[in-house]
Structure 1
């Protein structure tokens, strides 16, 4: 089984757009146009030989939360990448759309709930999360990661969800105001520095791990990790659960 993660038209270098039954082919001109837009000039139009449509063999290897996720088959491969779990394709056939939350694993629907709440986080909610005790979180987080890394050398128990959380809480904080940010001299950019919002991010992070990878800890331990988040937002109500 292989998966194609669709972001948006700006980052899609194929045609036609994915729908069940479509044969999607790599469109080099779309990739070249995307490279030229930020440069404001023409770029080398000679293909490097390794471009193509990126397909993942495992959904949790998708590196960015997609707007839609598709199961694909009949891959027309480009140059193979030894030992890689991703492939570059000239074309593939779209089989069906599957839930985008599969990129966070079998419990990704609960992780998606945490991301959705984080995306619209308010100052009052961040303050409420920050005011709650985080006793026990750090030790349990270390235990969870140690157990994960016993069998995995890379990646995350919830796929790209943790980096997605970092992005969406930054976006939420920017809507509140610039006073929540400060300079990062090394990167020469403004980063989130407000203590309450950083603690709120910690609550989202641990809740995503506890709810998205419950097999790594006991139910009681997972409840401690998710406690701050569920105290403020309650338990997720999801179809089929």
Structure 2
């Protein structure tokens, strides 16, 4: 009889330990098991929910990493419980059989923490800012990120692709494999060396040279610049652009073209020239290089007439020298007049 009593108590304690491991009150379940029956209490315990925090820990056979945020989710899940992303679509995009090769512009920004190993670059954590891999050279946007390095890469691990339009023309990547380093000139098309030449001149541009550029811009240069933009925008359309459309292209640095993701006749070249000239003007003349313009209740800082004229002259030269296929012979002379007089450059046409 004494043996049965000890066994009963021991089994009740076992039930209590099991209950504690399942997030329940161990003492309470020990007492309950002792009062009713340890086997009955044990069966009842195993039939109710497991409240242990360890119960929600995924096991490899039933869980996978979300391809969007990296959180652990059930293998059959369609929506990630962490980020709310469409897991089904992301997994189809993350098909390892799909090879994603494109172009990555490395601006060598020290504030962005990257892991650089032999032949690979990765974000330190799987979160923005992602490594943006463009599918074509003509869609790369540089802005003020200059200079840097241009690579042809293969996407090893995708980042979060949720929230993007269909076929955005680029991938967000966590890890890329470096395939080839490319010359920066290819960023601006077949005649990209001409854009690099202009950028180099901007690096050492003086105020006197800026003034000379502005003074030598022909009055009808904007019309020639606009005509080149219109030829580019209608490259796949028949007929010459009409003069009545020219005003729409005045001051344009980037635009969309039907049928592709190109941003200009020299890709991101105009945007880069503009941003580099602004930086040079600020270094040479400080705040005096800019004026404040108020429009619709908002104040915008723009280049003063001298530096704006110099910027226009460089944009015109870039159009004629780097995109000659869109410029007539007469317009080429107009667009390069200021450049040729200041830098004694050779004529762009034979």
Q: Same fold (TM over 0.5)?
A: yes
Counterpart Cα distance in 1 of 2:299 and 2:115 = 38
Structure 2: how far apart are the matches of 1:217 and 1:94? 37
**Aligned residue-pair number:** 213
Q: 1:183 aligned to 2:292?
A: yes
Distance 1:183 1:135, change over 3 A: closer
Q: 1:217 to 1:7 in 2, by over 3 A?
A: same
**1:33 equivalent in structure 2:** none
1:71 is aligned to 152
User: 1:221-240 to 2 correspondence within 5 Å?
Assistant: 221-235=331-345
Q: Deviations 1:206-240 (Å, cap 9, x if unpaired)?
A: 1111111111123443232122112211337xxxx
- In the alignment, what sits opposite 1:54? 132
1:219–1:55: structure 2 CA closer, same or farther, 3 Å change rule?
same
Which of 200, 206, 223 is matched with 1:139 structurally? 223
Give the aligned partner of residue 213 of structure 1: 323
Larger radius of gyration: 2
Distance 1:112 1:11, change over 3 A: farther
Alpha-carbon deviation of 1:72?
Answer: 0.9
Could you tell me whether the CA contact under 8 Å between 2:158 and 2:171 is conserved in 1? yes
**Higher RCO (C-alpha 8 Å, min separation 6):** 1
1:70-117 superposed Cα distances (whole Å, 9 cap, x missing partner): 111254334555221111122221011111222211211111111221
Consecutive unaligned residues in structure 1, runs of 5 or more: 30-46, 237-241
Q: TM-score, normalised by structure 2?
A: 0.55
Inter-partner Cα distance in structure 1 for 2:281 and 2:319: 22
The partner residue of 2:198 within 111, 114, 120 is 114
Q: What is the aligned partner in structure 1 of residue 122 from structure 2?
A: 25
Distance across 2 between alignment mates of 1:73 and 1:133: 45
Q: Which residue of 2 aligns with 1:2?
A: 102
Deviation at 1:55, TM superposition (A): 0.4
**Equivalent residue for 2:282?**
174
Q: 1:77 to 1:119 in 2, by over 3 A?
A: same
The residue that corresponds to 1:96 in the other structure is 180
Is the Cα–Cα contact under 8 Å of residues 155 and 177 in structure 2 kept in the other structure?
Answer: yes
Structure 2 residue runs without a partner (length 5+):
1-100, 236-256
Contact 2:151 2:179 (8 Å CA) reproduced? yes
With normalisation by structure 1, the TM-score equals 0.78
Secondary structure class of the residue paired with 2:336: helix
TM-aligned CA deviation for residue 189 of structure 1: 5.2
